[in-house]
Chains A and B, each alone.
Chain A
Amino acid sequence: MTAARVGIGGPVGSGKTALIEAMLGVLAETGIETAVITNDLVTDEDAERLRKGGKLAPDRVRAVQAGACPHTVIREDPTLNMAAADRLEADYPGLDLILLESGGDNLASTFSPNLVDYWIFVIDVAGGDDIPRKKGPGILQANLLVINKADLAPHVGVDFPRMLAEATEVRGGSAVLPTVCRKGEGVVEVVEHLRREVLFK
């Protein structure tokens, strides 16, 4: 069976890389062989961060530079990311999962189904509790919506239960999970969700 390809998108600073960092430990404990492709604008910043984190062998973290709007390489022409994923699968035949992290983008960001089998959109409470109500395509179309930094809600005037309820409502009941990635909270649930929906192990 080929490796599942899972996209992770969302606004700048919402916690995409933090989610991956937190997931890597849980995935390793579960015996899921993982690799990561990061997309940055003109640097390898996120890839370097993950390599320094030491939870994956450095060569299992590959970087693709978008050079332009991040969505161009996950939706309009995902060729670079598809090639990087193909190379990872060739280099590591036993891979179960390839996580593809988009560069930080806006609420209209979506992944091409030609690139990923499943995709997560990450927002955070500090970005404002009105984000779900704005109904961006990223919010509506992602297979899973993660709302990160749930612990900051009281500090930024956010009614978190209401934000969760509104997010679930605009998505027509599709999955929404809360996390505090820096503390690892909610991350096991994200991994369990992926195991059921796309990893099948």
Chain B
Amino acid sequence: MKDVDGPMMLETVLGLASDREWHDRLHALEHEGGLETIAIPEADAARKRMRVTTDRGRDCAIALPREQTLTDGAVLFHDGRLAIVVRIDGAARMRLKPASVDDALRLGHWCGNLHWKVVFGDGVMDVVLDGPRERYEARLVDLHELASFEILGAK
């Protein structure tokens, strides 16, 4: 579905699907077939502008003000008959568990030099994967000689 006049412009976040005021309205529209979703990879969620297609093939262009952020459930359009909501698709993660504090320092320094996005947990560090897991594991091969750590869930 492509509008001959260009994409449907989505220029502001109206609210969140989880908010009470939006939940009921969206629920009703969903039953009437008026709810469309835009799936955005987690790695792209920080972007303010992008050309996207809804799950029903509608050609859209997101252009948010700098102070607004795309989050899971962000409502970008609603006119009573149609609503468009964002779904952020979480990226795969690779969990790393260092054996000691010394190993954790070495591991953190190494991953930092690789500019990897990480999320810290209790004694572990999750690397947010923006590409095949094998590519990330290959970068850790040489580190095994310098630090003791486990790659949890590794193939």
**Chain A interface (Cβ < 8 Å from any Cβ of B):** 1-2, 4, 75-76, 86, 108, 110, 112-114, 117-118, 137, 140-141, 196-198, 200
**Complex Cα distance A111/B37, Å?**
27
The closest CB in chain A to the CB of B49 belongs to: A117
B130 interfacial by beta-carbon distance below 8 Å: yes
**Chain B interface (Cβ < 8 Å from any Cβ of A):** 6-7, 9, 11, 43-44, 46-51, 61, 63, 65-66, 115, 130-131
Which residues of B lie under 8 Å from residue A113 when comparing CB positions?
43-44, 46-47
Main secondary structure of the interface of B (DSSP, over half): loop
Q: Are B66 and A2 in touch, CB under 8 angstroms?
A: yes
Which residues of B lie under 8 Å from residue A114 when comparing CB positions?
46
**Complex Cα distance A130/B103, Å?**
36
Q: Which 10 A-B pairs have the closest CB atoms?
A: A113-B46, A117-B49, A200-B61, A113-B47, A197-B51, A198-B49, A1-B63, A117-B48, A117-B47, A4-B49
**Complex Cα distance A75/B113, Å?**
13
Besides A114-B46, A197-B51, A198-B49, 16 other A-B contacts (C-beta < 8 A): A2-B63, A2-B66, A4-B63, A75-B115, A112-B46, A117-B48, A117-B49, A118-B47, A118-B50, A137-B115, A141-B130, A198-B51, A200-B6, A200-B49, A200-B51, A200-B61
Q: Can you spell out 8 A-B residue pairs with CB atoms less than 8 angstroms apart?
A: A1-B11, A113-B43, A114-B46, A118-B47, A118-B49, A196-B51, A197-B51, A200-B49
The closest CB in chain B to the CB of A137 belongs to: B115
Which residues of B lie under 8 Å from residue A140 when comparing CB positions?
131
The closest CB in chain A to the CB of B115 belongs to: A75
User: Which of B46, B47, B49 has the most A CB atoms < 10 Å from its CB?
Assistant: B49
Q: Are A2 and B65 in touch, CB under 8 angstroms?
A: yes
Q: How far is the CB of B113 from chain A (nearest CB, A)?
A: 10
Which residues of A lie under 8 Å from residue B43 when comparing CB positions?
113
Q: Are A200 and B7 in touch, CB under 8 angstroms?
A: yes
Given known contacts A2-B66, A110-B115, A141-B130, A198 and B50 CB-to-CB distance under 8 angstroms: yes
B9 touches which one: A2, A196, A200 (CB < 8 A)?
A200
A117 touches which one: B11, B50, B115, B131 (CB < 8 A)?
B50
Which residues of B lie under 8 Å from residue A141 when comparing CB positions?
130
